[in-house]
Amino acid sequence: MGRRILVIEDQEQNLYLMKYLLEASGYDVVQARDGKEGIAAARTERPDLILLDIQLPTMSGHEVARALRTDPGLSAVPIVAVTSYAMPGDREEAVDAGCTGYLEKPIDPDTFVAEVAGYMQQDPRRSEAAPAGHEGETE
Amino acid sequence: MGGSWRGSRRSDRRGRTVDPKFFWLAFFLFAFLCVPVAAEQLVRVGVYDNPPKVAIDEDGTVSGLYPDLLEYIAAKEGWTLEYVPGTWTESMERLDRGGIDVMVDVAFTAPRRELYAFNNETVLVNWGTVYTRPGLKILSLPELEGLRVTVMAGSTHTVDPGGIVDLAERFNIRCTFVEFDSYEEVFQALASGRADAGVVNRVFGLVFEAEYGVERTPIVFNPIELRFAFPLDDPLTPLLIPRIDHRLEQLKADPDSVYYRALDEYLLETPKRETVIRWPTWLLPGLLAAGAIIAVLVAAVLIVRREVRERTRAEEAHRRSEERFELAMRGANDGLWDWNLTTGEVYYSPRWAQMLGYDVDELERTIETFHDLVHLDDRERLRAEEADYLEGRTDRYQVEFRMRHRDGTYRDVLSRAFVVRGEDGTPLRFVGTHVDISERKYAAQQLEEAKEKAEAADRLKSAFLATMSHELRTPLNSIIGFTGILLQRLAGPLTEEQAKQLGMVQTSARHLLDLINDVLDISKIEAGQLEIFPEPFDLPDLIRELTDVARPMAEGKGLELRVDVDPAVGTIRSDRRRVGQILTNLLSNAIKFTEAGHVRVACTEAGADVLLSVEDTGIGIGKEDLAKLFVPFQQIDTGLTRKYEGTGLGLSICKRLSERLGGRIEVESEPGRGSVFTVRIPKGS
């Protein structure tokens, strides 16, 4: 398939797990361990989808999502938040911040790749899903 | 006169030896001489009808406690008494304008002290007491609102500051006062139902309440000291006062005296004794007829016998009368204090003292007694409250403070009081009550502490569960993730045993995850942190989606999974995720507890709600277990736990979630036949 996925995740085992599962299904995985690195990678690598951990050091996933959405070149890329079920409000906030959707941790290895693929196919609808307000901020 | 007789005997003895015959002769000469000499001092006594303290018969005979006392004193002092009967008002006018030398039974109050002279020894302490007509029960002053209240005209309990009219005004109570000339008329009006409530003094009330069948209320007020009153500028007044005080002092010191006998006789309900000792009528003819020495001896023997008998009865009766009064006060459970701001003297009631473990006689009648017993930390505040109120900076006095009990412990006391002011506004008396609120306070404090502890423990529990479940999730992510990778043979081929064992790891890890999720849900729900995000969604869609997920599990057990959704059901507005959680829970329970038959999911409309039900043909639930079905961690019959895996939290979560969504969950079940769980959820706007 050769499609490129950027995984922004600080936790080594999770990063390895997602990378392994995605690569096993033929995806090209680019990894980043914090928000700043992730934004930089997104700009240079131009991924087809971004998997974004919400609990990141220094810069939260929500901030990263907002930053990504302000980049006109990235405004159309699906961003899937990987949220913790334990934190109330995380998912809703992720969508507010401009994420296309969310996956819950712990990820289910049996369904993970299929779910990610599902979001990638939502491409045509994505621009509607992204809140206009966030895009408007930069204009 | 008696005093001078004793003096003359002593000087005779000192002078030379006297023949006993001369001594007795001298004695009788003196005794006969005394009568005409004393008769010259006429004392006019104002009396009014206020039994049992003083009563006037239809034929004009005067009796009662005051006449008995005065007659005794008069006999001792050699006075002749002339009773001048009248109403209270008439008598007080005579005291003003002349016509009497002494008036009995006058309340020693500040305004009256300006008008009359008073002796120092108090004869009686009395209170105003509110009575009601038979059948009417009232417990507090404000209940007099709108009632007809009978009072005695001019009585201290009526007109004086601290009297009922004043109290009613002070507490803003509107009632109609009807005035009579005597307490008897007050009680008659109550007994006949012509009035609702009436005020009498407690002495009159205790003696006559039974006779009239009126109801005594716990409302007592205006503690007063009753004394003798004299015209201010009458030349006789300075002569009478010291003699009356001297005699009263003597009488009060002697428990056998006429004073205590009169108290017992007149203030008790016991039938009046016929045999009242009358010295002059009994002793004199005896002396004249039979000769002095024998008569005196006989008299002495008789008197001693009689005295002993009387004394025993009197003491018993006196004790009973005091007990009864104490009881009446305790009914109100209030201690009374009455601070005379002019003299500095403070009256404390027996209950006031008893509240702190003292006998009232042990206490100095000063305000220091009170203040010294107040907890050091409360004293300054109390004094400030007193000053603020007395100086008019606050219009209400109600203070709580601690007082030291004799046993060393502290009691919480609620004090309410009011000030009685003179016409120029000077505070004259400060009168208040004490209620022991220690137990009330202690109970409230215990309750508050227990509540705080429970809440703290609850917060700790919720925080702990939230943190733990989050922390447990991170390692589970790896366990579930990598067993999944291995089982998918992504990392390479597996032997059959390896696959089987890794499968067990995966199952256990997933169960552990369910458990953690359930615990987290419960803790969030109980901590009130569970947020609901309502959104419109297609309910039949959700049902299809979830039944599709559950179908393999059902079919794996050989169960039929039916889905019947009413076509009328469409989009509802609720929390999709939570509705899904409820249905998943019910579905997995139904499949888990059913060995043969079917599981049926049905959905219908019911007005503004939708009914979502899951029916099974499983083991069912016994009546006794239905109640604990929705209680957390209660999986019915521990024996089942092994057979049916589960957290025991599923149904309690379903119940709470349903309620959180504005609906409810119900169950019908029969052991061996199956169960139907029905969730009712509002469709939302």
Task: Identify all chain A residues contacting B478, using CB atoms and an 8 Å cutoff.
Answer: 13-14, 17
**Domain residues of chain B, as ranges?**
6-121+242-263, 126-223, 286-326, 334-443, 447-526, 535-682
Q: Is A89 on the interface with B (CB under 8 A)?
A: yes
Which pLDDT belongs to residue B2?
Answer: 38
Q: Is A85 on the interface with B (CB under 8 A)?
A: yes
Among all residues of chain B, which has the CA nearest to that of A111? B484
Among all residues of chain A, which has the CA nearest to that of B523? A86
pTM listed for this prediction = 0.42
- Determine the Cα–Cα distance for residues B104 and B67; give it in Å rounded to an integer: 8
Q: Is A71 on the interface with B (CB under 8 A)?
A: no
- Residue B275 pLDDT exceeds 60: no
Phi, psi (degrees; rounded to nearest 5) at B149? -115, 120
- Residue B613 pLDDT exceeds 90: yes
- Residue B511 pLDDT exceeds 90: no
Q: What is the mean pLDDT of residues A85-106?
A: 77
State the helix-helix crossing angle for B2-15 and B20-39, rounded to 10 degrees: 150
With beta carbons less than 8 A apart as the criterion, state whether B184 and B52 touch.
no
B680 versus B57: which is more confidently predicted?
B680
Q: Is A109 on the interface with B (CB under 8 A)?
A: yes
B196 versus B249: which is more confidently predicted?
B196
Which pLDDT belongs to residue B38?
Answer: 43
- Residue A22 pLDDT exceeds 90: yes
- Residue B471 pLDDT exceeds 60: yes
How far B597 CA lies from chain A's nearest CA (Å)? 30
Q: What is the mean pLDDT of residues B565-588?
A: 92
Which pLDDT belongs to residue B279?
Answer: 52
Half-sphere exposure of B98 (CA within 13 A, CB side): 4
Q: Do A106 and B485 touch (CB under 8 A)?
A: no
Structural domains present in chain A: 4-120 (3.40.50.2300)
Q: What is the mean pLDDT of residues B93-118?
A: 86
Sequence-separated (6 or more) residues with CB below 8 Å from residue A69: A75, A79, A97, A98, A130, A134, A135
Q: Do A86 and B466 touch (CB under 8 A)?
A: yes
With beta carbons less than 8 A apart as the criterion, state whether B237 and B117 touch.
yes
Q: What is the mean pLDDT of residues B46-71?
A: 86
- Residue B640 pLDDT exceeds 50: no
Which pLDDT belongs to residue B320?
Answer: 56
- Residue B37 pLDDT exceeds 50: no
Q: Is A12 on the interface with B (CB under 8 A)?
A: no
With beta carbons less than 8 A apart as the criterion, state whether A54 and A61 touch.
yes
DSSP secondary structure code for residue B362 in this structure: G
DSSP secondary structure code for residue A107 in this structure: P
- Residue B677 pLDDT exceeds 60: yes
B→A contacts (Cβ < 8 Å), by residue, are: 466, 469-470, 473-474, 476-478, 480-485, 488, 490-491, 513, 517, 520, 524, 529-531, 533
**Could you tell me the two tokens for A136?**
């408007």
Which pLDDT belongs to residue B641?
Answer: 43
Name the percent of chain B lying above pLDDT 70. Answer: 82
B187 versus B524: which is more confidently predicted?
B187
- How big is chain B by its Cα radius of gyration, in Å? 45
Q: What is the mean pLDDT of residues B93-115?
A: 86
Lowest mean pLDDT across A42-46, B468-472, B621-625: B468-472
Q: What is the mean pLDDT of residues B122-130?
A: 80
Q: What is the mean pLDDT of residues B159-171?
A: 82
- Residue B282 pLDDT exceeds 60: no
Question: What's the CATH class of domain B334-443?
Answer: alpha beta
Which pLDDT belongs to residue A134?
Answer: 38
Q: Do B470 and A11 touch (CB under 8 A)?
A: no
Half-sphere exposure of A22 (CA within 13 A, CB side): 25
Task: Identify all chain A residues contacting B533, using CB atoms and an 8 Å cutoff.
Answer: 92
Question: What's the CATH class of domain B126-223?
Answer: alpha beta
Which pLDDT belongs to residue B107?
Answer: 84
Which pLDDT belongs to residue B639?
Answer: 46
Q: Cβ of B231: how many Cβ atoms within 10 Å?
A: 21
User: Long-range contacts for B665-673 (Cβ within 8 Å, ≥24 apart)?
Assistant: B665/B582, B665/B630, B667/B621, B667/B626, B667/B629, B669/B620, B669/B621, B669/B626, B670/B620, B671/B619, B671/B620, B671/B621, B671/B622, B672/B619, B672/B620, B673/B617, B673/B620
DSSP string, B450-488: HHHHHHHHHHHHHHHHHHHHHHHHHHHHHHHHHHHHHHT
- Determine the Cα–Cα distance for residues B358 and B404; give it in Å rounded to an integer: 11
A43-81 pLDDT per residue, tens:
999 999 999 998 888 888 888 998 888 888 888 899 999
Task: Identify all chain B residues contacting A101, using CB atoms and an 8 Å cutoff.
Answer: none
Which of A13, A14, A88 minimises the CB distance to B524?
Answer: A88
- Which helix (H) or strand (E) segment holds residue B598: the answer is strand B598-606
Question: What's the CATH class of domain B447-526?
Answer: mainly alpha
Site of tokens 């009046």: B272
pLDDT bin (cut points 50, 70, 90) of residue B499 is: very high
Interface of A with B in 14-43 (CB under 8 A): 14, 17, 20-21, 24
Which of A20, A88, A107 minimises the CB distance to B477?
Answer: A107
Q: What is the mean pLDDT of residues A74-102?
A: 80
Which pLDDT belongs to residue A126?
Answer: 42
CATH H-level, domain B6-121+242-263: superfamily: Periplasmic binding protein-like II (3.40.190.10)
B158 versus A27: which is more confidently predicted?
A27
How far B596 CA lies from chain A's nearest CA (Å)? 29
**Could you tell me the two tokens for B149?**
């209240």
Which pLDDT belongs to residue B562?
Answer: 94
Which pLDDT belongs to residue B271?
Answer: 40
- Residue B36 pLDDT exceeds 50: no
Lowest mean pLDDT across B124-138, B189-203, B415-429, B456-470: B456-470
B21 versus B155: which is more confidently predicted?
B155
- Determine the Cα–Cα distance for residues B238 and B235; give it in Å rounded to an integer: 7
Q: What is the mean pLDDT of residues B36-48?
A: 74
How far A72 CA lies from chain B's nearest CA (Å)? 30
- Residue B681 pLDDT exceeds 90: yes
- Residue B540 pLDDT exceeds 90: yes
Residues paired with B63 in a beta bridge: B55
Q: Do B470 and A13 touch (CB under 8 A)?
A: no
Q: What is the mean pLDDT of residues B409-423?
A: 89
Lowest mean pLDDT across A119-123, B217-221, B295-299, B345-349: B295-299
- Residue B178 pLDDT exceeds 50: yes
**Could you tell me the two tokens for B465?**
């569960």
Q: Do A11 and B474 touch (CB under 8 A)?
A: yes
Name the percent of chain B lying above pLDDT 90. Answer: 30
Q: Is the dihedral of CA B242, B243, B245, B250 positive or negative?
A: positive
Does the domain at B535-682 match CATH 3.40.50.300? Answer given as no
Q: Is A114 on the interface with B (CB under 8 A)?
A: no
Which pLDDT belongs to residue B332?
Answer: 58
Q: Tell me, yes or no, if the two domains B6-121+242-263 and B126-223 fold the same way.
A: yes
User: Interior CA angle at B222 toward B221 and B225, to 5°?
Assistant: 135
